[in-house]
């Protein structure tokens, strides 16, 4: 069964990792996918080709999620290219700039907050008018278990991810009466290219500490997004779903 047949979806930061996984699963479910990248042009164009070959409309846009004007321009372009309807927004773009608070620069704090959190304000505001007119929409924010429980060495990242949760719940309250839902996903340890670079023993230690005894895949996160994007979750808003193999249990 295709759960998103003909739906138009925007995913920020889909040139790699979790965003790419979401785009692939969504295209398999019949969604048209508009997605962004900030610098990884080659993989973004390769993904655009791959998704188009699945028989859906797909387009990559270079757009800095931290920029308010880029986000407004992006949404205007998507509306023009995809027939004026936006059914789903996934705020997925994110970065880390880890350091102990003692050594963290103001610049590294600000850039993580801007790319991870302010981006969510930028993009949600940019799609809001369209979703209000449609009286329908689903917004999904990619938080993290770190935003729920904190993490030493990640004050900037944890603050951005916790901020996304407050934003999610507030948007759910503001827009629920117009049938616009807003939920967050809190992934645990997801094995992407980023984690491939880590020491194998350290990674095994993390896996051993997870009740399900494995790291998550990008597909695990994409499937949770599929639930929030589709009518399977028609009566769910303002929630945070931990997709972490039981890590926070
Ligand atoms: P990733 O592999 O590093 O990919 C990040 C994506 O975001 C890339 O496509 C990147 O594109 C894009 N991006 C970065 N800065 C951007 C900007 N300013 N504007 C637009 N796009 C930008 O990360 P990931 O592991 O897939 O993580 C995706 C999301 O899940 C992030 O929000 C992350 O915090 C969250 N998360 C990940 C994990 C995990 O274990 N992997 C756990 C919890 C939460 P460019 O290369 O073009 O910059």
Residue nearest to atom 44 of ligand 1 (CA): 144
Strands 88-91 and 58-62, how do they pair?
unpaired
Q: Which atom of ligand 1 is nearest to the CA of 115?
A: 18
| Joined tokens for residue 70 | 């880029």
Mutate to test the pocket of ligand 1, among 10, 11, 14, 18 (most ligand atoms within 8 A of CB): 18
Looking at residue 40, its pLDDT comes to 97
DSSP-derived secondary structure letter, 238 = S
Longest dimension (CA), the chain: 52
More confident residue, 203 or 234: 234
Q: What is the overall mean pLDDT for the chain?
A: 97
The answer on pLDDT for 195 being more than 90 is no
Mutate to test the pocket of ligand 1, among 16, 91, 186 (most ligand atoms within 8 A of CB): 16
The answer on pLDDT for 197 being more than 80 is no
The model's pTM: 0.98
> Phi, psi (5° rounding) for residue 138?
-130, 125
The answer on pLDDT for 214 being more than 70 is yes
Looking at residue 194, its pLDDT comes to 67
Looking at residue 217, its pLDDT comes to 97
- Report pLDDT digits (tens) over 79-107: 999 999 999 999 999 999 999 999 999 99
- Report pLDDT digits (tens) over 19-40: 999 999 999 999 999 999 999 9
- Please confirm, yes or no, whether 235 is among the known catalytic residues: no
Residue 18 CA to ligand 1 center (angstroms) comes to: 7
Q: Which atom of ligand 1 is nearest to the CA of 39?
A: 47
Mutate to test the pocket of ligand 1, among 34, 38, 145, 247 (most ligand atoms within 8 A of CB): 38
Question: Which residues, 6+ apart, have CB-to-CB distance to 170 below 8 Å?
Answer: none
State the Cα–Cα distance between residues 39 and 75, nearest whole angstrom.
19
CA dihedral for 62, 5, 119, 19, sign (positive or negative)? negative
- Report pLDDT digits (tens) over 123-167: 999 999 999 999 999 999 999 999 999 999 999 999 999 999 999
Burial of 42 (0-12, 13-18, 19+ CB in 10 A): exposed
Pocket of ligand 1 (CB under 6 A): 12-19, 36-40, 64-66, 92-95, 115, 142, 144, 187, 189-190, 192-194
Residue 16 CA to ligand 1 center (angstroms) comes to: 7
CATH class of 8-243: alpha beta
Determine which helix (DSSP H) or strand (DSSP E) holds 35, and give its type and residue range. strand 32-37
Residue nearest to atom 25 of ligand 1 (CA): 17
Residue 177 CA to ligand 1 center (angstroms) comes to: 31
For the chain, the 3-state helix, strand and coil shares in percent, each to the nearest 5, are 50, 15, 35
92 CA to centre of own chain:
2
| Joined tokens for residue 234 | 């028609």
Q: Buried b / exposed e across 73-101, counting CB within 10 Å, b at 16+?
A: ebbeebbeebeebbbbbbbbbbbbbeeee
Looking at residue 101, its pLDDT comes to 98
Looking at residue 112, its pLDDT comes to 98
Altogether, the residues listed in the chain come to a count of: 249
The answer on pLDDT for 170 being more than 70 is yes
Percentage of the chain exceeding pLDDT 70: 100
C-alpha distances out from residue 114 to 100, 104, 163, 175, Å: 19, 16, 11, 24
DSSP for 122-167 reads: HHHHHHHHHHHHHT-EEEEEE--HHHHH--TTBHHHHHHHHHHHHH
Catalytic residue among 37, 61, 157, 235: 157
Residue 117 CA to ligand 1 center (angstroms) comes to: 12
């Amino acid at each position: 069964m295709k759960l998103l047949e003909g739906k138009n979806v925007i995913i920020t930061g889909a040139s790699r990792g979790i965003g790419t996984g979401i785009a692939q699963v969504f295209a398999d479910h019949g969604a048209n996918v508009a997605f962004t990248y900030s610098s990884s042009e080659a993989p973004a164009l390769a993904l655009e080709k791959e998704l188009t070959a699945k028989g859906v409309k797909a387009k990559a846009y270079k757009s800095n999620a931290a920029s308010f004007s880029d986000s407004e321009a992006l949404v205007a372009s998507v509306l023009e290219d995809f027939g004026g309807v936006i059914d789903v927004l996934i705020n997925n773009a994110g970065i880390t700039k880890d350091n102990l608070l003692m050594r963290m620069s103001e610049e590294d704090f600000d850039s993580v907050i801007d790319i991870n959190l302010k981006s969510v304000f930028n993009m949600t505001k940019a799609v809001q008018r369209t979703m209000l007119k449609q009286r329908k929409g689903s917004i999904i924010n990619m938080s993290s278990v770190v935003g729920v429980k904190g993490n030493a060495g990640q004050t900037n990242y944890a603050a951005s991810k916790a901020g996304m949760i407050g934003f999610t719940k507030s948007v759910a309250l503001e827009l629920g009466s117009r049938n616009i839902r807003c939920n967050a996903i809190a992934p645990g340890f997801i094995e992407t290219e980023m984690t491939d670079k880590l020491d194998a023993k350290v990674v095994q230690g993390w896996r051993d500490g997870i009740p399900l005894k494995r790291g998550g895949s990008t597909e695990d996160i994409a499937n949770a997004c599929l639930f929030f994007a589709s009518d399977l979750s028609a009566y769910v808003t303002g929630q945070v779903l931990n997709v972490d193999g039981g890590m926070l249990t």
